[in-house]
Amino acid sequence: MANQDQQLDELLRSYRAACPEIDASANFMPSVWARIEARKKSDLWLVRWVNSFATAAALIVMGLGFLLYQNPIPLPQRAYIEKLTDEISEDHFLDASYVASAKPAKFWSDR
Amino acid sequence: MNADPQLVTRAQSGDEAAFNELVAGCRKRVLSIVGRLIGKPEDVEDVAQDVFLRLYFSLSQLSNAELFDRWLYRLTVNAAYDYMRKTKRRKESRMADLSEAQMVMADASAGQLQGKSDERQSTLRDFVHWLLSGVSEEDRILLLLKEVEGLSIKELEAVYGANESALKVRLFRARQRVLKAFEKSKEVKGKDGESRSTTG
């Protein structure tokens, strides 16, 4: 196993030597800058799109606010909780006099 | 690579001439590393350009100019990994003639490769790619950085941002897999030799 380890090390070292030295073409740097510019442009387009979307959203919100201000929706006279309390007080199960007058239920008859 | 920290700082501030100088200084090294990592000479320049594109847009995030080399290593590894994930080269690379590669391997292990023809060197490269095709892209890159590029565990720690023991375990497992494939190829060679001698 140790021998194989050594052989593998040797092989990988030879691989390094067998890989050709690659030199950049004359067009390398211009291509890098072209890619940078293209990326900048696409980023700029995205920023512009996001900005216009945010502006449109803000304008819609302002327009709706203005419409609501011009035609206010009347608020209900009584709050929901007040109306609910009224209904509960009218309920028989919560009426003490009704509970007192009610006969107890018989579950079995006397023998 | 050893880039000049002042040059890095100038490039960080948006100086295009400094960026050009920075790229010129480390271009050759990046091309070599990418070449050995991806193993496809025709795509090396494209991946290297991707490395410098990433560098341009991430240079502002580099807090300390002294750490530029590690940063560039990390970008190179990431670009190579992304390329390999895109092309899925593992599935494509299958050895057409393993026995030829084994002869080259035998030469290589005996240290006799120097001066051999380009064809043999190309076969050796194919054989190493075949051996490494048994491990994942991440492990393949890690193994190449350690064994071929000669990075120490400390340097790998800085590149990967992982702890020493985790890296050692990963490297050990990857190496064991490659060794198994290496052993298997030798068995195939042995059988091949036997069958040739009986037919001859």
Nearest to A39 among B23, B28, B53 (CB): B53
Q: Name chain A contacts of B28, Cβ cutoff 8 Å.
A: 21, 23-24
Phi, psi of B150, deg, nearest 5: 75, 25
Q: Is the pTM of this model over 0.90?
A: no
Residue B19, min C-alpha distance to chain A (Å)? 10
Place of tokens 């199960």: A93
Give the ipTM: 0.72
Mutate to test the interface with B, among A5, A11, A43 (most CBs of B within 10 A): A11
Domain B1-87 has CATH 1.10.1740.10: yes
Ordered by start, the domain boundaries in chain A are: 27-101
**Which residues of chain A make contact with B80, given a CB cutoff of 8 A?**
none
Reading the block at residue B104, the tokens are 């080259």
What stretches of B6-146 adopt beta strand conformation (E)?
none
Q: Which of B121, B125, B117 is nearest to B38 (CA)?
A: B125
Band (pLDDT 50/70/90 cuts) for residue B118 is confident
Residues of B in contact with A17 (CB under 8 A): 113-114
B87-96 pLDDT per residue, tens: 865 454 444 4
> Residue B184 pLDDT more than 90?
no
DSSP state of A77: S
pLDDT, tens digit, 9 for 90 and up, residues A72-110: 877 767 777 777 777 766 665 556 666 666 666 665 555
Parse chain B into domains and list their residue ranges: 1-87, 92-200
Alpha-carbon distance of B148 to B129, in angstroms, equals 13
Q: What is the 3-state secondary structure (H, E, C) of B37-53?
A: HHCCHHHHHHHHHHHHH
Contact between residue B167 and residue B157 where contact means Cβ atoms under 8 Å apart: yes
- Predicted confidence at residue A91, as pLDDT, reads 60
